Structure 1
């Protein structure tokens, strides 16, 4: 009987320990990647961006590849290097028509071929953001076009947004940095 009681107590202890692990905010303990949005908000944002991407691809798959769609907290960001004014307008109209959209911000630049320089700058910016120990860069998306870096995403604070801009500007080959980083309210 004593062994059964011990076994039950041991099992309860293991279950409680397991339950507490499931609820542990690992990001707080290990300072790892975390998302400031609720799971529901993340799902809504993903649905919104996928709905927009799908409609753009249905219209013109080749041009759709030139428009990068991001959504954070219901706000849509259209970023790309595309000269086709009609397709730009279609992208904005499409984004505005999606249920749950709370606004559209566009950042379009003159269309150019992706150069090796842009790819190198993009990789260097990503590496610099990740290497910055005082910055959680896991939710910062970057696009590099003609040496211009556009940053979109969530950051923990206004100070993180400023630091991300400073880090990106410090990368060789970056001509300009535009930030649409969102700190918590």
Structure 2
């Protein structure tokens, strides 16, 4: 009976047309992300697969890595199921959530180290404050509002973008089209009321190269002249003669004799 069920599942996977075949098959992996297996209930995952900037094969490999990492965390009794969410893009495994202690954090890393196929592990985990009350409803309201704004913005392919809110920080993950789209998504997130910080793990092809350099707002010092070049010779200032003021043109006036004088 088990062999018969397995044969039926494999047949469905291979006979599904187009890109829908891959997310359906990935959804059967234990611990795979919920958005992948949503193809069983509708066409949402097929749409997400179509608008994703990754190839279908890359999406499948990433989903397998994220699903296996989530399954390893689920198997450990010291880690709550809703504590950490795993994501994977181009082989980079992202961990987003909270941990209770340093011992639990070491256990989390031990679990994800068992996952094959990952290139790197990027951790965005926060130490949970037991004395601080968790504002679950406030985080959900912020999440709903941000998702609504992204869906209303037609210049943003918002469906593949994952949004996580942890301790007032908005964490954005996903593969997008270009820098302009990233800037629009960031603007929506930064405009949320009550947000603490916005952490972007949005990936686009323009930043596929080496890590960007960190730029500071300080002015760079003026460059010093090389030692090999001698300083320019000192020149004496030109001496100029002082200008002599012109004397006024005073001409003598001849006295006119009075012919009537002496009469």
Same-fold status (TM-score > 0.5): yes
Q: How many angstroms does 1:179 deviate by?
A: 0.6
Please state if 1:76 is matched with 2:97. Answer: no
Q: Which residue of 2 aligns with 1:7?
A: none
- Please tell me the root mean square deviation across aligned C-alpha atoms, in Å: 2.2
With the length of structure 2 as denominator, give the TM-score of the two structures: 0.54
In structure 2, the residue corresponding to 1:63 is in which secondary structure?
A: coil
Q: Which residue of 1 aligns with 2:121?
A: 104
Partners of 2:72 and 2:112 within 8 A in 1: no
C-alpha separation in 1, matches of 2:108 and 2:183:
29
After TM superposition, give the deviation of residue 62 of structure 1 in Å: 4.9
Partner residue of 2:11? Answer: none
| Structure with more helix by fraction | 1
- Who wins on radius of gyration, i.e. which is larger? 2
Match of 1:132 in 2: 153
2:186 is equivalent to residue 169 of structure 1: no
More displaced 10-residue stretch of structure 1: 175-184 or 103-112: 103-112
- Unpaired runs of 5+ residues, structure 2, are 1-17, 20-48, 209-263
Greater share of strand residues, 1 or 2? 1
2:176 pairs, out of 151, 155, 162, with 155
- Equivalent in the alignment of 2:222: none
What is the CA-CA distance between 1:176 and the residue it aligns to? Answer: 1.3
Offset at 1:55? 0.9
Tell me the distance in 2 between the aligned counterparts of 1:55 and 1:71. Answer: 15
Name stretches of at least 5 consecutive residues in structure 1 with no aligned partner.
Answer: 1-21, 24-31
Q: What is the number of equivalent residue pairs in this alignment?
A: 156
* SS of residue paired to 2:80: helix
What does the per-residue CA deviation read over 1:30-76, in whole Å, with 9 as the maximum and x for residues that have no partner? xx961111111111111111111111111127524201100111111
- Are residue 41 (structure 1) and residue 68 (structure 2) matched? no
Question: RCO (CA 8 Å, sep 6+): is it higher in 1 or 2?
Answer: 1
The answer as to whether partners of 1:121 and 1:147 remain within 8 angstroms in 2 is: no
Which of 109, 115, 124 is equivalent to 1:92? 109
Match status 1:65 vs 2:86: no
Contact 1:96-1:103 within 8 A present in 2 as well:
no
Question: In structure 2, do the counterparts of structure 1 residues 173 and 162 end up closer, same or farther at CA, with 3 Å as the change threshold?
Answer: same
- In 1, the alpha carbon distance for the partners of 2:184 and 2:126 equals 24
Distance in 2 of aligned mates of 1:71 and 1:86: 24
Q: Which runs of 4 or more aligned residues in structure 1 lie more than 3 Å from their structure 2 counterparts after TM superposition? A: none
TM-score by length of 1: 0.76
